[in-house]
Structure formats: structure tokens, C-alpha cells
């Protein structure tokens, strides 16, 4: 028993001679000659494939009409992120908040991990809070906001989709998933850009740069998944989740995995109440001339 | 000298030595044992302490236990004072010391000399070094630590490059910073003791002082490549020519900090979109994939423009076998032994070149990992390919090429933290297949650097501990023996971008009077952009520590044995309560 202390010290010496544990090693076959180079995991660990080819446009459209209808979808919670992984570097932006129809929303957000809050009630009342500034009036040009009709831009891709049985927040859901060709996605993106993005985002392209980027991005891979869940009271499906995975070629850095994910929940929850703009305006730290909203 | 004072001084010196012993045993023995041994380590510690207590004399157990506890408590508690500034911090230090004094005096009347030693030793370490630096000292002398080189909040880390001077054979370190530009302070700003060494995440940084600000715009931030070389025992910033600055800025761009929301352009780290504009556009939820792609495309357009449309380029590989390599969006072109070649490929990155079965091979990364040889007729040919079918997430992995003893050139792969894949060593085999030589069990394990010195290959890597699932990486060095990675050493300290660097000439240590052959290990501390330069000190720390513990156990045993002898056989001896 008296030797126990010494034994402990011997053990330490033994520990310093260890090697790093390795999983079983093996041989990997070559990928030369195989067609598909990219593989995606199922929508979730619980998902089971129901059908590899369905035309999901009608179903999604009807779900969209429920979401767009301001009497059927009066309010909801949303949460989501955009995450980029390039080699070991990961950059994440996060957005979560409540939406009260017709036009009021408050959001807690982070852009590349930099925190802020955003409040919007139509184009007239837009405020931002940052830890350094408190509430200020937003100065950027307003863009129209249509939380769900914006999904119609994705609809054409679901003419030939996989259908999966899956779960969202513990309830059964249907996942529709489609692999989109880079060319098709890029042309839909161009429509979006010309319709929605002028300044401050769209002015940096000159034709030559744009051609170079389009050539580069033509080797991207895109995977879109929409999750639909039946509303218990309406007996109609709602859109409850969106995921887009974009594999993008990145100069001198392999490919980037970009994940865009949003989830919608607690529809028409009576606890969703949002302060009117006048409540925020009391806290505004703007100069006097910008207080005029 | 007054007799009581002399007596106090004698006792005090003994307690000082004892405090150092407890301090180093805790940080160098107990902490590593707990982290490395996992549950068995913890069990060993518990048994070890139990054995110590069992061997010690009954009436001495409590005083020594309280003495050790108070020292370690104060060591840890003082860290909390970093939450406060100026006078409040001094008050915090005084308050904690007073609590320790009162506890020691009122609980079991520890001698004043013992409590003075506890407080003095705890303050000594607190004031002079960040608490965790002590863990580095088990293997290294910290030859230099800079102040935070980047003082903004936009990025947790930037890359670190080494540039070897062809004539002197010495490296200089290229990192990104703005301390001098933003604060007008030197990279070794005079910090009072270790002021700010342990930065709290929410602490106001100087950048925010421009706050009071009435704007939420993130705006541009100055950022410059800093070239640091070794000069009279510390790092010194060297001026870079505008041409060099441009080259390094392009390198930095390829690390993509803040992608796609921020980009680096003309010495500025600037947002491509402001926060309000992003939030409002995100509300069109169905169009968020297009919004994200718009930001990507804007960023990539500028990247391509800065590199004249090239995705990647390498002037020379394998000692000039491959030259003028240029990778464009749909093909690779270059020279192999001065003969031009061209290969259609969707790769985006030239990882490097290696020797496989006596052939020169190019390693390219795109959605697949490709090895390319140039055949005798000058035509490039893909000999090996891996896709994400065989190895998921390979396109976001980091790659190192280096030879391993008995295996020749191999690839070291490290995967992003979220990936389910673990780090691997891959060796290409004839016939296009690959052998996995090592397949890390630890999901966070990363390879950082490989060095061949005096015929020995050593590998710098970042393994985790075996105690918890907390994603903390530590620093370790390995050798490759019989298909295994064998520890040379491991320190429980977290650094990122760790490299072997040749900062001083051979037979010149970090200081002029040091004649030794050790090269430096450089690395950044995550989150606060401090650069560390470490030199192995080769002191037998563990044998000394274990030896001193063994001596203490031995003397405790002797004391106990003497206690058991009839009292008249021992000469009576004077001593304080703790003797």
C-alpha cells in the first residue's frame, strides 16, 4: 500500500510513451471510371426514400398558397442560417425571429458571427440594433419582402424530385429533394438578380468579371430540399423547412460547402406579439433629422 | 536581525519552495494526467492524493491540504479579476488575497509565513504570465509572444505563412495585422504585466472606442500583411515592398476570412453587404439560396480579377520539374521539364507535387482529388482519383504532402471540425488505389506541419484530450514508427496555425549566447491574434517532477517511521506548526 504513490508516478511515465489511436486502416479503391463524383447524405438520419421521381410542383404550390394566405398564416417563428465551409474555415450567419402578418417582423441575427437585431414593419419602419449603437434607423434602400411567394422562384426545379418520409420537430413530414444542374440554377439566379438586385449588391459586376464567374460557377452542384407538413387544423400541407446545399468551386481552396437552411414553426401562435414601430422609435439614437419616419 | 523575523523568513522560504512545488505539480502533472488519462487519469489522481494523505502524519494532513487548496484556489480565482479594469481589478486582487488570508487563519490557523507565501506565489504567476502559459513550459521556453496583431473583431483567425529566404535560409513569418495602423502601437506594445493576456470575449476593444458612433455600418478596416523576422531575441516587423504586399494579400484572400460577407481588397477588409441589407433580403426566404449565391459570386469575381483569372498558380514544384503551373476554370497548363502540357480539369487548387513509384506526380483538388503524371509523350494522365463517394468531404479537407520513413511521399488530410471524416494519412498505390496508413479516431485531430531534420521525420498535430467531449485541441509532436503515430510530447495548450520555423541560423539559439540547434515552433492563439514563438528547452521536467514527488513520498515515509519509534530514540526538534 505504501508503494501506491510511487506506482502512480510510474504510470505517468508509461502514459507519455503512448501513440495516437487509429481506426482500422484499409485500402480505398479508385474513383476513376465512376460517373458520379458527388454524393449527398439523406435529408436526415430518420428519412426513408418513398419515390425517386415525383412531380412535386402541385403539392408545393398548394402548400405555398396556404403560407401566402394572410388569414391562414397570420404569424410564425422562423430560424435559419447560411453556413460556408472552405477548408477548415467556417463562416456562419444566423437569423431567427417572429413574423406577424401583414408586414411586421423582429429578428435576432448574426452576420459572420457579428450580432445585431433587425425590426421591420413595411418599407417605412426599418430599424437596426447593434451592441455598439443601440437602435438606429436603417439607411439602405428598402427591398420588397414576400416571405413565401419568394418560394415560387424554386418551384420549377421540383418537377422531378425525390420524395422522402422524414421528421421535422418530431412530427412526420415529407421531404422533396432535387439535384439542380448548375446551368439551370445559374439562369434562374440571373432572373432573380435582374429583378431584385441592383444596388448595393449588383453593381460590382462588370461584363468581363461576370463571364469569368459564370464559367467558374458552371461546375457547381446544387441540392434543394423542401419539407412539407400537414397542418392539423387545416388538413393542408405547409412548408416547414428549406435547405439548399451549394458546392461551389473556390479558387485555390477546393470546393466550398454552402448550406442555406430555414425552418418555420408555431404558426398562428397567439403568443407572437410584436411591438409597434412607435415603441422602437422611443429608443432611436439617430440624429434628429433621421427621426422623421 | 530580530529572532522572530529571522524565524519567519526561514519558514517563509520553505513555504515559497512548497508553493512552487504544489503549483507545478498541479499544472504539469495533475492537469495532464486528468486530460490525457481520462477516467483512469482521474482515478490515479484520486488514489495518488489518497496515498499522500495516508502516508502523511495525521496532524499534518489538514494543514497541508488547506495550504495546497488555498494556493490553487487563489491561482484560479485571480483569473476572474480580468472581468474588471483598473481600480476595480486591484480591489478584486486585494479582496481575494484577504479572503485567502482570513480563510487560512480562521479555519486552521495556518502560519502567517505560509499564507504570505501562497499569496505571493499566486500573484507572481498571475502578474507575469497568462495562467495557461505555464503548461507550455513543461516542454518549451516561450521565446516571444507578440501583442494581438489584429485588433478588430471581424475574424477569429487569419492564416500564417512562412517565407524562406533563399540566401540566408531563414524563415520569416507572414501574418495579417493592423495593430500598428489602428493603434499606432508596436507589435510588442508595453503592456503592464500581462494586461489583456487573457481576453474576455465581451471586453471592449480599442476598435469600439470609435463607438459613441452614430452609424451601424461595418465599413472597411485596414489590414496588412505583417512580415516578422527574428532580431536580437524577439520578432521584428520588416517593411514589405508594395509588390510583396500585393502578393501576400492575394494569399490571404485564398484563406477566405469572412467569406462571402467580407473581402480583402487594396489593404482593406471590407463588407460586401451591410447587416441591415442582409437581414431584409433574408426575409424573402425562398430566395435565400440566390441571395447567398449573389454574395459568393461578387466575392469570387473580385478574387478572379485579383489573380488575372487564374484559380491557382505555382511557379515551380519538385525542384523545378514542374514550372509555370496555371490553373484556369476548365484546364491546367504548365511545363514539365520545360515541355508544355495542358489538362482539362475542374480542379480549383494545385495542392502540390509528390513522388509516387519514382514518378513525378501533381496533386489537384476539385470535387475530386486527382494525381496527375506526365507520360513520355508529354500527355498528362490522371493516375489516381478519389471522390466524395470514397471519402466524404474531401473537397473541404486540408492537405499536406511529406515523406514518411519507409513509405515515401504521402498525403496528410485534415477535415473541418463538423465533418464526420477524421484525419488520415493516404499513400497512393500502383493501380490507382490508395492505402490508408493512419485513420484518426479523434474526430478533431488535425495535422499542422511535417519536418525532416537530421534524418528524423516529426509531425506537428493538434489532438484533443481524452477527458471530455469539449472540442479543444492541444499541441503534440509525433514520429511515425511501424505504422503508428508515436507521441514525442504533448502540451495541453491550444494554438492554431502551428508551424516549424527556422528563425535563426544553426548553432545560434533564439538569443546570441545560446548555442543550440533547436528550431522554433510558431503558432497563433485562437481568437486573440497573438503570435507565439516556442523553443524546446530539453529540461527533464517530468523526471524532475516525478523524482521530487518520489523524494517527498520517501521523506514522508521516513517521518512516519520515525514517529512510530519510541519517543526517547529521537532528539526533540523545534519547528513551526507545519514542520
Structure confidence at residue A2 (pLDDT): 35
For B262, name the nearest residue in chain A, comparing CA atoms only.
A112
- For B465-579, list the strands marked E by DSSP: 475-481, 484-491, 496-501, 520-525, 530-536
The H or E element spanning position B61 is helix B58-77
- CB interface of A with B, residues 37-96, below 8 Å: 37-39, 41, 78, 80, 82, 84-91, 93, 95
**Angle of the B288-306 helix axis to the B275-282 helix axis, nearest 10:** 140
Both B75 and B192 in one domain: the answer is no
A14 CB within 8 Å of a chain B CB: no
Distance from the Cα of B445 to chain A's closest Cα (Å) equals 10
pLDDT beneath 50: ranges in chain B: 192-212, 573-577, 579
Contacts of B434 in chain A (CB under 8 A): 27-28, 30
User: Does residue B154 lie in a domain region?
Assistant: no
Tell me, what DSSP letter sits at residue B125? H
pLDDT band at A34 (very low <50, low <70, confident <90, very high): low
- The shortest C-alpha distance from B316 to chain A (Å) reads 16
* Percent of chain A topping pLDDT 90: 54
- CA B21 and chain centroid, separation: 26
Distance (Å, rounded) from C-alpha B522 to C-alpha B163? 13
| B115 and B201 within one domain | no
CA–CA separation, B501 vs B545, rounded Å? 30
Contact B37 A15 (CB under 8 A): yes
* Per-residue model confidence (pLDDT) at position A75: 93
Put simply, the answer to whether B216 touches A133 (Cβ < 8 Å) is yes
Residue B520 forms part of a structural domain = no
User: DSSP of B379-441, one letter per residue?
Assistant: -EEEEEEE-TTTSTTGGG-EEEEEEETTTEEEEEEE--TT-S---EEEEE-GGG-EEEEEEBS
Q: Report strand pairing: B268-271 vs A114-121.
A: unpaired
Chain B environment of A111 (Cβ under 8 Å): 261, 273, 275, 278
CB of A134 within 8 Å of a chain B CB? The answer is: no
Q: How far is A146 from chain B (nearest CA, A)?
A: 5
Task: Tell me the shortest Cα–Cα distance from B222 to chain A, in angstroms.
Answer: 18
At residue A35, the pLDDT reads 60
- Domain check: are B326 and B470 in the same one? yes
Task: Quote the pLDDT of residue A10.
Answer: 47
Task: Please name the residue ranges forming H helices in B130-261.
Answer: 133-136, 179-183, 242-253
Contact A213 B300 (CB under 8 A): yes
The verdict on B193 and B341 lying in the same domain is no
Residue at B574 is within a domain: no
CA-CA distance, B572 to A25, in Å (whole number)? 67
A282 touches chain B (CB under 8 A): no
Contact residues on chain B for A102, CB-CB shorter than 8 A: none
Q: Which of B457, B477, B494 corresponds to the end of one domain? A: B494
CA distances from residue B5 to B2, B97, B114 in whole angstroms, order as listed? 5, 22, 14
Same domain membership, residue B22 and residue B38: yes
pTM of the predicted model as reported, rounded to 2 decimal places: 0.87
Q: Does A160 touch chain B (CB under 8 A)?
A: no
pLDDT digits (tens, 9 = 90+) for B240-282: 999 999 889 888 888 999 999 999 888 889 999 999 999 999 9
Same domain, B202 and B226: yes
| pLDDT at site A80 | 96
Question: Per residue in A194-215, pLDDT tens?
Answer: 776 655 455 556 777 788 899 9
Q: Is the pLDDT of residue A13 over 80?
A: no
The Cα A109–Cα A171 span in angstroms is 27
Nearest to A2 among B41, B262, B557 (CB): B557
- Residue A65: is its pLDDT beyond 50? yes
pLDDT given at position A288: 46
Cβ contact B396–A257 (<8 Å): yes
Give the pLDDT confidence score for residue A19 in this predicted structure.
80
Print burial letters for A86-112: b (CB count within 10 Å at least 16), e (below 16).
bbbbbbebbbebbbebebbbbbebebb
Option in B285, B301, B311 nearest A204 (CB): B301
Number of other residues whose CB lies within 10 A of the CB of residue B16: 18
Q: Name the packing angle between helices B288-306 and A182-196 (round to 10°).
A: 100
How does residue A45 score in pLDDT terms, banded at 50, 70 and 90?
confident
Considering only CB atoms, which chain B residues are within 8 Å of A99? 283
* Each residue's pLDDT tens digit, A132-144: 888 999 988 888 9
Same domain, B183 and B256: yes
Nearest Cβ partner for A145 among B258, B284, B296: B284
Identify which of B281, B285, B463 has the shortest CB distance to residue A20. Answer: B463
Same structural domain, B216 and B239:
yes
Residue B49, helix vs strand vs coil: helix
Minimal CA separation from A171 to chain B, in Å = 22
pLDDT at B548: 87
* pLDDT at residue A289 in the model: 43
In a domain, B516, yes or no: no
Measured between CA atoms, the residue of chain B closest to residue A6 is: B550
B255 with B404, same domain: the answer is no
Q: Are residues B346 and B489 in the same domain?
A: yes
Nearest to B475 by CA among B526, B441, B517: B526
Residue of chain B whose Cα is closest to the Cα of A288? B214
In this structure, what C-alpha cell is assigned to residue B147?
A: 501583442
In a domain, B148, yes or no: no
Q: How far is CA B209 from CA A138, B88, B152, B156, B181, in A?
A: 22, 20, 11, 20, 15
Residue numbers of A between 218 and 277 with CB closer than 8 Å to B: 218-219, 221-222, 224, 242, 244, 246-258, 260, 262, 264
Same domain, yes or no: B435 and B302? no
- Cβ neighbours of residue A180 under 8 Å, at least 6 residues apart? A157, A222, A223, A224
Chain B contact set for A15 (CB, 8 A): 33, 36-37, 41
Q: The domain that contains B394 carries what CATH number?
A: 2.130.10.130
- Closest alpha carbon to B395 in A256, A3, A283: A256
Indicate whether A218 pLDDT > 50.
Answer: yes
In three-state secondary structure terms, B467 is: coil
Give me the number of domains chain B comprises.
Answer: 3
Could B256 and A28 be called an inter-chain contact, meaning their C-beta atoms sit closer than 8 Å?
Answer: no
Q: Which residues of A touch B29 (CB under 8 A)?
A: 12
Using a 10 angstrom Cβ sphere, with 0-12 exposed, 13-18 middle and 19 or more buried, the burial of residue B289 is buried
Instruction: Give the nearest chain B residue to A209 (CA atoms).
Output: B301
* Topology at the third CATH level for domain A46-291: outer membrane lipoprotein receptor (LolB), chain A (2.50.20)
| Distance from the B248 Cα atom to the nearest Cα atom in chain A, whole angstroms | 14
Owning domain of residue B358? 312-494
- Partners of B485 on chain A (C-beta within 8 Å) are 19-20, 22
C-alpha span between B246 and B258 (Å, rounded): 19
Out of A8, A126, A262, whose CB is closest to B285? Answer: A262
Chain A residues touching residue B254 (CB < 8 angstroms): 251-253
Torsion of CA B384, B386, B387, B391, to 10 degrees: 170
| Residues B481 and B131 sit within 8 Å (Cβ to Cβ) | no
Please report residues of B whose CB lies closer than 8 A to that of A256.
256, 259, 296, 396
Amino acid at each position: 500500500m505504501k508503494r501506491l504513490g510511487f506506482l502512480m508516478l510510474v504510470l505517468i511515465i508509461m502514459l507519455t510513451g503512448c501513440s495516437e489511436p487509429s481506426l482500422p486502416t484499409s485500402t480505398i479503391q479508385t474513383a476513376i471510371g465512376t460517373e458520379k463524383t458527388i454524393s449527398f447524405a439523406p435529408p436526415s438520419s430518420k428519412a426513408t426514400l418513398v419515390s425517386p421521381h415525383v412531380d412535386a410542383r402541385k403539392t408545393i404550390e398548394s402548400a405555398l398558397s396556404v403560407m401566402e394566405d394572410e388569414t391562414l398564416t397570420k404569424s410564425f417563428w422562423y430560424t435559419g442560417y447560411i453556413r460556408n465551409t472552405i477548408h477548415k474555415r467556417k463562416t456562419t450567419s444566423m437569423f431567427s425571429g417572429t413574423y406577424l402578418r401583414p408586414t411586421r417582423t423582429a429578428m435576432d441575427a448574426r452576420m459572420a458571427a457579428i450580432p445585431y437585431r433587425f425590426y421591420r414593419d413595411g418599407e417605412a419602419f426599418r430599424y437596426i440594433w447593434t451592441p455598439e449603437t443601440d437602435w438606429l434607423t436603417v439607411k439602405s434602400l428598402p427591398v420588397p419582402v414576400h416571405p413565401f411567394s419568394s418560394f415560387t422562384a424554386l418551384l420549377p426545379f421540383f418537377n422531378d424530385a425525390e420524395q422522402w418520409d422524414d421528421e421535422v420537430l418530431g412530427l412526420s413530414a415529407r421531404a422533396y429533394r432535387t439535384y439542380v444542374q448548375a446551368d439551370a440554377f445559374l439562369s434562374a439566379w440571373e432572373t432573380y438578380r435582374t429583378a431584385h438586385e441592383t444596388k448595393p449588391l449588383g453593381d460590382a459586376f462588370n461584363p468581363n468579371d461576370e463571364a469569368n464567374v459564370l464559367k467558374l460557377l458552371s461546375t457547381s452542384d446544387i441540392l434543394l430540399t423542401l419539407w412539407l407538413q400537414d397542418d392539423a387544423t387545416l388538413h393542408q400541407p405547409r412548408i416547414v423547412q428549406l435547405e439548399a446545399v451549394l458546392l461551389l468551386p473556390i479558387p485555390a481552396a477546393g470546393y466550398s460547402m454552402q448550406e442555406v437552411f430555414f425552418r418555420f414553426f408555431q404558426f398562428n401562435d397567439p403568443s407572437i406579439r410584436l411591438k409597434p414601430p412607435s415603441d422602437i422609435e422611443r429608443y432611436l439614437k439617430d440624429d434628429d433629422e433621421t427621426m422623421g419616419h | 536581525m530580530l529572532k522572530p523575523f529571522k524565524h519567519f523568513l526561514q519558514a517563509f522560504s520553505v513555504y515559497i519552495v512548497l508553493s512552487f512545488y504544489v503549483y507545478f505539480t498541479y499544472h504539469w502533472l495533475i492537469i495532464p494526467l486528468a486530460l490525457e488519462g481520462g477516467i483512469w487519469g482521474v482515478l490515479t489522481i484520486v488514489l495518488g492524493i489518497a496515498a499522500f494523505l495516508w502516508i502523511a502524519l495525521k496532524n499534518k494532513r489538514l494543514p497541508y491540504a488547506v495550504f495546497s487548496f488555498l494556493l490553487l484556489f487563489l491561482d484560479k480565482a485571480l483569473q476572474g479579476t480580468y472581468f474588471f479594469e483598473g481600480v476595480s481589478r486591484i480591489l478584486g486582487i486585494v479582496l481575494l488575497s484577504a479572503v485567502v488570508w482570513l480563510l487560512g487563519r480562521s479555519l486552521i490557523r495556518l502560519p502567517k509565513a505560509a499564507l504570505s507565501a501562497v499569496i505571493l506565489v499566486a500573484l507572481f504567476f498571475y502578474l507575469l504570465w497568462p495562467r495557461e502559459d505555464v503548461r507550455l513550459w513543461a516542454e518549451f521556453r516561450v521565446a516571444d509572444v507578440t501583442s494581438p496583431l489584429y485588433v478588430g473583431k471581424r475574424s477569429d483567425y487569419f492564416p500564417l505563412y512562412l517565407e524562406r529566404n533563399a540566401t540566408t535560409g531563414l524563415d520569416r513569418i507572414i501574418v495579417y495585422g493592423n495593430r500598428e495602423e489602428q493603434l499606432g502601437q508596436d507589435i510588442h506594445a508595453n503592456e503592464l504585466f500581462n494586461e489583456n493576456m487573457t481576453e474576455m470575449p465581451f471586453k471592449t476593444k480599442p476598435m469600439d472606442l470609435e463607438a459613441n458612433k452614430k452609424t451601424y455600418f461595418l465599413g472597411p478596416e485596414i489590414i496588412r500583411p505583417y512580415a516578422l523576422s527574428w532580431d536580437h531575441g524577439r520578432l521584428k516587423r520588416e517593411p514589405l515592398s508594395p509588390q510583396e504586399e500585393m502578393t501576400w494579400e492575394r494569399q490571404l484572400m485564398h484563406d477566405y476570412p469572412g467569406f462571402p460577407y467580407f473581402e480583402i481588397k487594396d489593404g482593406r477588409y471590407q463588407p460586401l453587404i451591410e447587416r441591415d441589407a442582409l437581414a431584409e433580403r433574408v426575409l424573402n426566404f425562398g430566395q435565400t439560396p440566390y441571395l447567398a449565391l449573389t454574395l459568393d459570386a461578387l466575392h469570387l469575381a473580385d478574387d478572379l480579377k485579383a489573380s488575372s483569372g487564374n484559380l491557382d498558380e505555382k511557379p515551380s514544384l519538385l525542384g523545378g520539374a514542374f514550372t509555370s503551373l496555371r490553373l484556369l476554370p476548365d484546364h491546367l497548363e504548365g511545363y514539365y521539364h520545360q515541355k508544355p502540357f495542358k489538362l482539362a480539369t475542374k480542379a480549383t487548387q494545385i495542392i502540390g507535387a509528390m513522388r509516387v513509384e519514382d514518378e513525378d506526380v501533381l496533386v489537384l483538388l476539385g470535387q475530386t482529388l486527382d494525381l496527375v503524371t506526365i507520360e513520355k509523350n508529354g500527355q498528362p494522365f490522371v493516375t489516381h482519383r478519389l471522390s466524395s463517394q470514397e471519402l466524404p468531404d474531401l473537397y473541404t479537407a486540408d492537405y499536406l504532402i511529406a515523406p514518411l520513413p519507409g513509405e515515401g511521399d504521402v498525403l496528410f488530410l485534415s477535415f473541418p471540425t463538423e465533418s464526420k471524416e477524421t484525419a488520415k494519412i493516404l499513400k497512393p498505390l500502383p493501380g490507382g488505389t490508395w492505402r490508408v496508413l493512419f485513420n484518426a479516431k479523434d474526430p478533431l485531430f488535425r495535422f499542422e506541419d511535417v519536418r525532416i531534420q537530421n534524418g528524423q521525420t516529426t509531425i506537428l498535430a493538434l489532438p484533443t484530450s481524452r477527458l471530455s467531449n469539449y472540442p479543444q485541441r492541444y499541441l503534440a509532436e509525433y514520429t511515425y514508427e511501424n505504422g503508428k503515430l508515436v507521441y514525442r510530447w504533448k502540451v495541453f495548450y491550444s494554438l492554431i496555425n502551428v508551424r516549424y520555423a527556422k528563425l535563426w541560423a544553426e548553432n545560434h539559439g533564439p538569443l546570441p549566447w545560446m548555442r543550440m540547434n533547436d528550431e522554433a515552433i510558431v503558432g497563433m492563439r485562437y481568437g486573440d491574434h497573438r503570435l507565439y514563438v516556442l523553443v524546446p528547452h530539453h529540461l527533464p521536467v517530468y523526471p524532475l517532477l516525478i523524482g521530487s514527488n518520489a523524494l517527498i513520498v520517501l521523506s514522508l515515509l521516513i517521518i512516519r517511521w520515525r514517529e512510530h519509534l519510541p519517543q526517547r530514540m529521537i532528539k526533540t526538534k523545534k519547528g513551526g506548526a507545519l514542520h
